[in-house]
Homo-oligomer: A and B are copies of this chain.
Amino acid sequence: MTIPKNHKPALGVCYYPEHWPEAMWGDDATRMVAMGLSWVRIGEFAWSRIEPQPSEFRWDWLDRAIQTLGDAGLKIIMSTPTATPPRWMVDRYPDMVAWDRHGRPRGFGSRRHYDFSHAEYREECVRITTILGERYGRNPHVHAWQLDNEYGCHDTTLSYSPVARAAFQDWLRDKYKSVAALNDRWGNVFWSMDYQRFDQIELPNLTVTEPNPAHAMDFRRFASSQVVAFNAAQEAALRPLTDAPLLHNYMGRVTDFDHFAVGANLDIATWDSYPLGFLEDRSDRDVDFKRDHRRCGDPDFQAFHHDLYRAVGKGRWWVMEQQPGPVNWAPHNPEPAPGMVRLWALEAIAHGAEVVCFFRWRQAPFAQEQNHAGLLRPDGKLSEGGDEVAALANELAGLPNLSIKAARTAIVFDYASQWAWEVQPQDAQFDYFRLVYDLYCGLRRAGHSVDILPPTTTDFGDRDRIFIPGLFAWPQALRAAVYGFSGEVVMGPRTGSRTDDFKFPMTLPPGLAGLKVTAVETLRADAHVTLQDGGMIQIWRERIESTWDVVEADLDGRSVRLSNGHLIYWAGWPDAAALDRWLGGTASDARHRETVSGATSIDYMTASFSVSP
């Protein structure tokens, strides 16, 4: 994953020529370039204007838009428009829409109204991708291609439609070959859940009580595989038609498909960084934190995703949509503090972003996102965010080329573990993302830069320390890498606590020699377990039998931390105080030190960014 990099950070913007009179395009393009933007993304929602009726194409406007933008000096990111199938598509394939977990079809009238398992729609996507690739794949102004947009947004990965059910049954048939094998590996004997034929297997929604976790887990794997296959089909169609890099634009805290697997076929990972919206809408932070950070966002939330998508992009990653002012979709939508738009972009660059694009050029005066700020106000004047971006572009022009290097510390992040512990949380508070994110924040407080690694990692390189918290089931190669590593490996809680078939290991977790988790208890939010030297165990607590060295015990005398050579095991979920102690304290001078050469300090609360001498 450590790809040598030497890049000059650049800025860009999302633009929708189809939203504006053609007479405005030229001036818009000129102003973009004048502001210091070099990239422009177009086309991801334009299907109804490209192909207003089946096989009836309108190329003229798009040809001219590309020409106008390119002629002004902008590099174009062209998008496949498959996130918004036109209305006639839904008429043609009424069963193409996804069904929600209540068994209701999700209608036309917004976006992402398709089921990843729908074979004919997937073919339609290949068709439009091919046609677009043929027309613009070698266009000199097109420097990158985005496939679809924001897979999984609006809870669209999981569908409970008849189409999905049939595809799931096929997927099971392919995986298990015989229904007897499936019954055995799922443990269907448990409640007389044995099947006689694959076509009897329903999707795991609307059961009387919880379905078999192995059933639910396979459905989650299946659903993720459908996203991967959907993306791969477009990639395969487009690849021969262009030399430009292919990318997908991901969201924040979407964990219901395996981004590493989608990213495997692509050249760059990009994501949508909405610091204020995400703080209100997708954060586990408490109300005090949310109030105090309401105008700057949670610094670590962006940093975590920057590091995650750097891994998904195998070193190459961008921000495709950055919030330039208030958004329209969170419960509360404040303005960023002065300087934050600049700072967010610099934070991304410090984490290795090659490009930071802002969403969007001009605030849209119609439809769903009228209250979403742009770089321009509806009346065409620069917004506050626009002012900051213009200044930032000047500032960036003076930066040297940047490189990223591997961090000394890494965390293994495993999408399947998120699914597994959603399927079987054992405590209402248990969430894999939160477990990993708590750790990430502790590492940042301690002054560490962090790499995220996929569970397919086979070699940890020359790093100092690897963390593998909460891993559902061990890939053999990962466990081999753990044993073969020269640095420190910190595991637990809950690591290795199931087999790949979602069974409890008869020899007890975590699957490490000399250590057994003999029992688990989960803890109310008002009943943590206090530690003598400070901090507490929260949510999850394990009982250990072991030949390892006890590093720390709780007041009940039960082991909390254990070690065995380079292996360390944490037998509970530490709160922030315990975590800071375990990680070596907080490093106030190193807060938000970044991986990229040059950037040494970012202070969100004062919107300051320092470059080391």
B154 touches A506 (CB 8 A): no
Nearest Cβ distance between residue A85 and chain B, in whole angstroms? Answer: 7
Annotate A280-293 by CB proximity to B: 1 below 8 A, 0 otherwise: 10000001001100
Task: Report A340-385 residues with CB < 8 Å from chain B CB.
Answer: 363-371, 373, 377-379, 381, 383-384
Interface string of A489-514 (1 = CB under 8 A from B): 00000000010011111111000000
Chain B residues whose C-beta falls within 8 Å of the C-beta of A543 in the assembled complex: 335
**Of B154, B192, B207, B426, which one neighbours A46 at CB under 8 angstroms?**
B192
Which of B208, B334, B519 is within 8 Å of A111, CB to CB? B208
Q: Is the CB of A49 within 8 A of B192?
A: yes
A186 shortest CB reach to chain B, Å? 7
CB-contact partner of A207 in B18, B81, B108, under 8 A: B108
Residues of B with C-beta under 8 A to A85: 192
Give the interface segment out of A97-105, A236-244, A306-314: A97-105
Asked if A107 is at the interface of the complex by the 8 Å CB criterion, the answer is yes
Residue A523 is within 8 A (CB to CB) of chain B in the complex: yes
- As a 0/1 sequence over residues 97 to 129 of chain A, the CB contacts with chain B under 8 angstroms (1 = contact) are 010001111111111110000000000000000
A3 near B: Cβ within 8 Å?
no
Given contacts A196-B88, A326-B520, A521-B326, contact A366 B109 (CB under 8 A): no
> How many Å lie between the Cα of A508 and that of B362 in the bound state?
13
Q: Is the CB of B192 within 8 A of A86?
A: yes
Proximity bits, A33-56, B CB within 8 Å = 1, else 0: 000000000000111110011000
A530 contacts which chain B residues (CB < 8 A)? Answer: none
Q: Which chain B residues border A369 with CB–CB below 8 Å? A: 190
Q: How far is the CB of A305 from chain B (nearest CB, A)?
A: 21
Kindly identify which residue among B364, B365, B384, B426 contacts A333, using a CB–CB cutoff of 8 Å.
B426
Instruction: Kindly state whether residue A170 has any CB partner on chain B within 8 Å.
Output: no
The verdict on A252 contacting chain B, using a C-beta distance below 8 Å, is no
CB pair B49–A191 under 8 Å, yes or no, is no
Task: Check: A428 CB closer than 8 A to any chain B CB.
Answer: yes
Contact A202 B377 (CB under 8 A): no
Selected from B105, B191, B429, B520, the residue in CB contact (under 8 A) with A371 is B520
A523 to B208, CA, bound (A): 36
Instruction: Write the chain B residue with the least CB distance to A508.
Output: B379
Q: Which residues on B sit within 8 Å (CB–CB) of A110?
A: 191, 193, 207-212
Nearest chain B residue, comparing its CB with the CB of A545:
B381
The 6 tightest CB contacts between A and B, nearest first, are: A187-B366, A190-B367, A84-B192, A48-B192, A365-B504, A331-B428
Chain A interface residues (CB < 8 Å from chain B): 18-19, 45-49, 52-53, 81, 84-88, 91, 98, 102-113, 153-154, 156, 186-196, 200, 202, 204-215, 280, 287, 290-291, 294, 325-326, 328, 331-335, 363-371, 373, 377-379, 381, 383-384, 424, 426-429, 498, 501-508, 516, 518-524, 526-527, 543
Distance (whole angstroms) from the CB of A382 to the closest CB of chain B: 10
Q: Is the interface of A mostly helix, strand, loop or mixed?
A: loop
The complex places the Cα of A371 from the Cα of B503 at a distance, in Å, of 11
Q: Is the CB of B208 within 8 A of A154?
A: yes
- Cβ–Cβ contact A366 & B504, under 8 A: yes
Contact B326 A519 (CB under 8 A): yes
Q: Which residue of B lies closest to A334 (CB)?
A: B521
List the B side residues contacting A214 at CB < 8 Å. Answer: 366-367
Q: How far is the CA of A192 from the CA of B89 in the complex (A)?
A: 11
**What residues of chain B lie closer than 8 Å to A381, measured between beta carbons?**
518
Q: How many Å lie between the Cα of A302 and that of B87 in the bound state?
A: 47
For the complex formed, measure the closest distance between the CB of A396 and the CB atoms of chain B, giving whole angstroms: 25
Q: This chain: how many copies in the complex?
A: 3
Residue in B closest to A154 when the chains form the complex, CB atoms = B209
Given A113-B207, A379-B508, 7 extra CB contacts under 8 A: A19-B189, A45-B190, A49-B192, A108-B193, A109-B204, A365-B503, A370-B504
Bound-complex Cα distance A109 to B383 (A): 55
* Cα–Cα, bound, A197→B582 (Å): 64
Q: Which residues of B contact A287 (CB under 8 A)?
A: 526
Cβ-defined contact, B206 with A48, below 8 A: no
The closest CB in chain B to the CB of A102 belongs to B104
**B526, A191: Cβ atoms under 8 Å?**
no
A261 vs B170: C-alpha distance when bound (angstroms): 48
Greatest chain B CB density within 10 A among A18, A19, A194, A368 is at A368
Q: CB distance B194 to A86 under 8 Å?
A: yes
Which residues of B lie under 8 Å from residue A367 when comparing CB positions?
A: 186-188, 190-191, 193, 212-214
CA distance A501 to B370 in the complex (A): 13
Q: B residues within 8 A CB of A502?
A: 366
In the complex, what distance in Å separates the CA atom of A205 from the CA atom of B102? 14
Query: Roughly how many angstroms separate A429 CA and B369 CA in the complex, as a whole number?
Result: 18
Q: Which residue of the partner chain, among B188, B333, B379, contacts A521 with CB atoms under 8 Å?
A: B333
Whether A190 contacts B368 in the complex (CB less than 8 A), given A112-B208, A332-B523, comes out as yes
**In the complex, which of the residues B86, B190, B206, B364 contacts A104, with contact meaning CB atoms closer than 8 Å?**
B206
Q: Say whether B379 contacts A194, CB under 8 Å.
A: no
CA distance A208 to B114 in the complex (A): 9
Q: Return A375 CB to nearest CB of chain B, in Å.
A: 13
The answer to whether A370 and B506 have CB atoms under 8 Å apart is: no
Taking CB atoms, residues of chain B closer than 8 Å to A102 are 102, 104
Q: Are A290 and B524 in contact (CB under 8 A)?
A: yes
With contacts A84-B191, A287-B526 taken as known, whether A519 is within 8 angstroms of B325 at the C-beta atoms is: yes
Shortest distance between the CB of A37 and any CB in chain B (Å): 21
CA A506 – CA B379 in complex, angstroms?
5
Q: A384: which B residues are within 8 A, CB to CB? A: 519
